[in-house]
Amino acid sequence: MLGNTIGGLLILEAVFMVIPLVTALIYEEKDWEAFGFTAAFTALSGILMRRIPVRSNRMGKREGFILTASVWIFFSLFGMIPFIISSTPVSASSAFFEAMSGFTTTGATSVTIPITELSHGIIIWQALMQWLGGMGIIIFTLAVVPALNNSGGMLMFNAEATGVIHDKIRPRISQTAMTLWGMYLILTLILISLLWIGPMDLFDSICHAFGTISTGGYSNKAQSVAEFGSNYVLGVICIFMFLSGINFALLYKTIFLQNWQRFRNDDVIKAYIGIIVVFSILFAVGQLIRTGYTSFTDIAFYSVFQVVSTLTSTGYLAPGFFMWEPFILALVFVMMFCGGCAGSTSGGAKIDRVIYLKRFIDNELHHCIHPNSVLYVRYNGKIVSPDIVRKTIAFLCIFMILVVSGGTALSFLGLPPVDSFFSSLSCLCNTGFGASITGYGDDFATMPDLAKWIMSFLMLIGRLEIYTVLLLFTPSFWK
Amino acid sequence: MKIVIAGAGEVGTHLAKLLSYEEQDIIVIDEDGDKLDVLDSSYNLMTVKGSPTSFYTLKDAHTGKADLFIAVTPSESTNLVSCSIAKSLGAQTTVARISHYGFMDPANKEAMTRMGVDRLIYPEYLAAREINTALQHSWVRNWFELHEGQIILVGVRIRENAPLAGMQLKEFATTTGHFHVSAIRRNHETIIPRGNDYMLAGDVLYITCTREHIDDLIKLCGKVQQRIKRVMIMGGSKIAIRLLDIVGDRYKFTIIDNNREVCASLPEKCPNAEIIHGDARDPEVLVDANIYDCDAFIALSPSSESNILTTLSAKEFGIKKSVAEVEDIQFIQQAEALGIGSVINKKLLASSTIFQLLLDTDSSTSKCLALTDAEVAELEVKPGAKITRAEVKNLHLDRSMTLAALIRNGQGRLVTGNTTFQTGDKVLIFCLAGSLHKVERLFT
């Protein structure tokens, strides 16, 4: 069962590797060999894995978790091969970090080679990995492979999809997956064309669209989005980052079922917009204090861009936001933790959970004074079952424990404390802000190899929302 | 097909699971979120929390676009009202579970249609009918007949003394061409056999034949047709009352129930039966009730365990036919392995009816056979159906189904490899659970 399904998915990955292969051929680059080899090797491994005899077809909750976690690991293991054997080779640790950071839409890079020297093949592969990982590998598979349209596929969907409660849009899991991917694809296509109209060429628009909609934050330019010096580009990207931070199921209902009422009254949307407004003002104030008034764009527009980019875990940097004040850095910490809405492509702990936590704390405080009052956490007017609230609180606690453990492990490897904890949070939230922001080195490349593996692991935990990965390390799971 | 199921009780849950395996679009409605969570997290379907009689809930569940709306909450009036609302919202066909015979009366059919209820499921009535057949054909476990008995499919457990035991299917087919072994259940598994499979003692065989050969089959299986006169029933449940109503005075009934109030209500509803207040699990009560004179014992108490065990102890008193109601599906195969003649399960009966509906057959004429992991269905061949394109042996049928017999121009005949189907044929199909959608594709 395990080998069979993973094998099938690897074949699918091999199909996707044809895209960078073709790109390399178009630009007449030597890297087509690297992609040709990897695609063939991946497809062959997939075919061999499918040959593993199936012992039982039964798929329980446990198999759902194992499968989903291993699919992500296998995808990264095969996805890293092109980086090692390309014309600009990197070490295995860096390559795995690169692949994991791509698929989990973290968007951090540890490649020291200047981006201008990378081949178009490698660049499109980096962008494509983010795009695939954004909505989710499993969800994509469910949408295209009818064989998984059963309860097993459902379990895998639940193990991968982000959020507290997984909304099904339509009765069958493949229909839900198809709708979500349809939305995702439409948004991507719109963004590509909007960027193409602007100052970008087609290749750049594709790379940036993939990086934006997946909230991975990939850019094939050394100066990231600032390179184009165009407020049109920043504006368009800002809007689409905002959209990608919204629950895709809700987006679908709003746009295609014309359910505006539901959108306007949604607690998460209100909080999402509220957070963006408040933090933008704080950012602008911070920026004013630092630089004084320069221009409206510098202060207001770039602040909004930076807030949206941070909150949705995209990680694009607005011009002039390279060295951060302690106050702004603290705000960034908070926003990375919050993340976007559940069911979106963004990372972090998700606003939904933060809302639950806030209401839960309110209730607890109220209880101290009025011990007999009956209080429940309510969300969109409906009571959230105490089980779910409990699970959310546990999630947030584990989240913090992971940030601290990750940070501690990184400082053990010799990183300064602030950078350790910042990198740990940045990886777990899939934001991917480089360590450059805190002043340690230029990027993740200067980190020791072991640190790269730790951070890759944190990214995976963060992307699959903790439980799916951590469960594999609990003794009771294997009993 | 889009199907909305209102009520995540036992029947609703069972239906939702089965239909989701059949690749249908299922939405389940219930007021109890906990019941829905179980379904939602492990099955390929969608759930909507809310009252089945609320316009808003039904709209949320896209009832207007549903091909089939099934109301199976415990409350009859809720079911009828929600069907009525569903119909007004635009549901194609509505089905309500009922618990009074009055709704089924053909005289009231028009009133029901006006109310927006197209079909009815009455599990207790189905169960009573099933028991009635079991009493009439005491030598079989299951009896399924098509077109007024032109074609008969029986499920029968064979023992060492049966001439069939140990025979290879090929050999059986060459000696007598009048039987079609449709399926074999062995060790909790139902298999669709091929020519080189053997029939072993202890197997439950599902054999199809035409009416004139049924007597030969009794001998081949090493069985004797018992005449049943006196029947003892444990538990004065709704099924018991319905059974007595159907059967009339063909048999002499004794009903034992341990609830005095139930006993007090029974004489009015079942005037011809003898009512005894006592616990049927107590052998002395059985002896006092004259179990030695009884030919059949039917256990219909609410507890499956009591039903199975009491039936087993009743068999020691020389009962010729035993029937037990087993509501826990996982116990059914255990009960059958223990040697209980026929097992009744309301859920399976109800879901069988729905399957007939899905296959678009007129469920009022055909009877359905409810098995734990297989379905028997009757389908009519539509013009241009895939199945008419070649002879059976060249159709490359899936191994999860078999075509047993067909009725053409009112005449029943068995299906062989050389049979070619024609439009208008009625075909008897035996298929394993989860493959009904494949069957459907063949026939359209």
Strands B93-97 and B151-157: what pairing?
A: unpaired
Question: What residues in A contact B45, CB-CB < 8 Å?
Answer: 171-172
DSSP 3-state assignment of B402?
Answer: strand
| B149-220 CATH | 3.30.70.1450
Determine the Cα–Cα distance for residues B200 and B197; give it in Å rounded to an integer: 9
Judged by average pLDDT, the poorest of A112-116, A236-240, B74-78, B384-388 is A112-116
**pLDDT at site A44:** 92
Average pLDDT, integer, range A376-401: 89
Q: How far is CA A314 from the centre of its chain?
A: 8
Determine the Cα–Cα distance for residues A190 and A193; give it in Å rounded to an integer: 5
**pLDDT at site A366:** 93
**pLDDT at site A279:** 92
Question: What residues in A contact B40, CB-CB < 8 Å?
Answer: 168
Contact (CB<8Å) B46/A168? yes
Average pLDDT, integer, range A327-352: 87
Judged by average pLDDT, the poorest of A307-311, B132-136, B262-266, B329-333 is B329-333
**Long-range contacts of B184-187, Cβ-Cβ distance < 8 Å, separation of 24 or more:** B185/B155
Determine the Cα–Cα distance for residues A63 and A477; give it in Å rounded to an integer: 10
Q: Does B67 touch chain A (CB under 8 A)?
A: no
> Which of B23, B41, B46 minimises the CB distance to A170?
B46
pLDDT, tens digit, 9 for 90 and up, residues B413-438 = 888 778 888 887 888 888 887 777 77
**pLDDT at site B364:** 45
DSSP 3-state assignment of B344?
Answer: strand
**pLDDT at site B435:** 76
For residue A316, what are its two tokens?
A: 């694009």
pLDDT, tens digit, 9 for 90 and up, residues B264-306 = 888 888 888 889 998 888 888 888 888 888 899 999 999 999 9
**pLDDT at site B233:** 93
Residue pointed to by tokens 């059958």? B336
Checking if the pLDDT of B102 tops 60, the result is: yes
> Which of B26, B27, B41 minimises the CB distance to A158?
B41
Strand order of the β-sheet with B252-257 is: B274-277, B252-257, B230-234, B296-299, B321-325, B342-344
Q: Does B21 touch chain A (CB under 8 A)?
A: yes
Q: Does B221 touch chain A (CB under 8 A)?
A: no
Task: List every span in chain B annotated with CATH 3.40.50.720.
Answer: 2-121, 227-319
Question: Could you tell me what percent of chain B has a pLDDT over 90?
Answer: 16
Q: How far is A246 from chain B (nearest CA, A)?
A: 22
Determine the Cα–Cα distance for residues B6 and B28; give it in Å rounded to an integer: 6
CATH 3.40.50.2000 for domain B227-319, yes or no, is no
Question: What residues in B contact A170, CB-CB < 8 Å?
Answer: 25, 46
Please name the fold of domain B2-121.
Rossmann fold (3.40.50)
Find the chain A residues whose C-beta atoms sit closer than 8 A to any C-beta of B: 61, 149-151, 153-155, 158, 168, 170-173, 175, 385
Q: Which residue of A has its CA nearest to B62?
A: A170
> Which of A153, A155, A171 minimises the CB distance to B27?
A171
**pLDDT at site B363:** 45
Cβ atoms within 10 Å of A476's Cβ, excluding its own? 6
Q: Does B72 touch chain A (CB under 8 A)?
A: no
Q: Does B42 touch chain A (CB under 8 A)?
A: yes
For residue A47, what are its two tokens?
A: 């075919």
Of A115, A269, A252, A112, the residue nearest A186 (C-alpha): A252
Average pLDDT, integer, range A266-280: 92
Judged by average pLDDT, the poorest of A3-12, B176-185, B365-374, B394-403 is B365-374
Q: Does B44 touch chain A (CB under 8 A)?
A: yes
Of residues B125 and B329, more confidently modeled: B125
**pLDDT at site A41:** 92
Contact (CB<8Å) A172/B27? no
Contact (CB<8Å) B21/A171? no
Report chain B's mean pLDDT, rounded to a whole number: 84
> Which of B21, B27, B44 minimises the CB distance to A173?
B44
Q: How far is B234 from chain A (nearest CA, A)?
A: 39
Report the DSSP beta bridge partners of residue B428. B378, B405
**pLDDT at site A302:** 87
Q: Which residue of A has its CA nearest to B25?
A: A171
Q: Which residue of A has its CA nearest to B42?
A: A151
Q: Which residue of B has its CA nearest to A384?
A: B33
Contact (CB<8Å) B42/A149? no
Judge whether A329 and A437 are in contact, CB under 8 Å. yes
Of A118, A251, A115, the residue nearest A183 (C-alpha): A251
| pTM, full prediction | 0.80
Of A317, A346, A152, the residue nearest A241 (C-alpha): A346
For residue B95, what are its two tokens?
A: 């089905």
Task: List every span in chain B annotated with CATH 3.30.70.1450.
Answer: 149-220, 349-443
**Long-range contacts of A294-302, Cβ-Cβ distance < 8 Å, separation of 24 or more:** A297/A231, A301/A231, A301/A234, A301/A235, A302/A234
Q: Which residue of B has its CA nearest to A64?
A: B42
**pLDDT at site A86:** 83
Determine the Cα–Cα distance for residues B158 and A73; give it in Å rounded to an integer: 53
Report chain A's mean pLDDT, rounded to a whole number: 86
pLDDT, tens digit, 9 for 90 and up, residues A409-464 = 988 988 888 888 888 898 898 887 765 555 555 567 777 888 889 989 999 999 88
**pLDDT at site B84:** 94
Which residue out of B1, B44, B56 would a mutagenesis test of the A interface target, given it has the greatest number of A Cβ atoms within 10 Å? B44
pLDDT, tens digit, 9 for 90 and up, residues A221-257 = 877 788 888 888 889 999 999 999 998 888 888 888 7
Q: How far is A65 from chain B (nearest CA, A)?
A: 13
Question: What residues in A contact B33, CB-CB < 8 Å?
Answer: 385
Q: How confident is the model at residue A397 (pLDDT cuts 50, 70, 90)?
A: very high
Q: Does B2 touch chain A (CB under 8 A)?
A: yes
Question: What residues in B contact A171, CB-CB < 8 Å?
Answer: 2, 25-27, 45-46
Question: Residue B289 carries which side chain, given as an amino acid letter?
Answer: A
For residue A149, what are its two tokens?
A: 């349209």
CATH of B349-443, one of 3.40.630.10, 3.40.50.1000, 3.60.70.12, 3.30.70.1450: 3.30.70.1450
**pLDDT at site B372:** 67
Checking if the pLDDT of A270 tops 70, the result is: yes
> Which of B26, B33, B44 minimises the CB distance to A149?
B44
Q: How confident is the model at residue B386 (pLDDT cuts 50, 70, 90)?
A: confident
Of A333, A326, A306, A332, the residue nearest A317 (C-alpha): A306
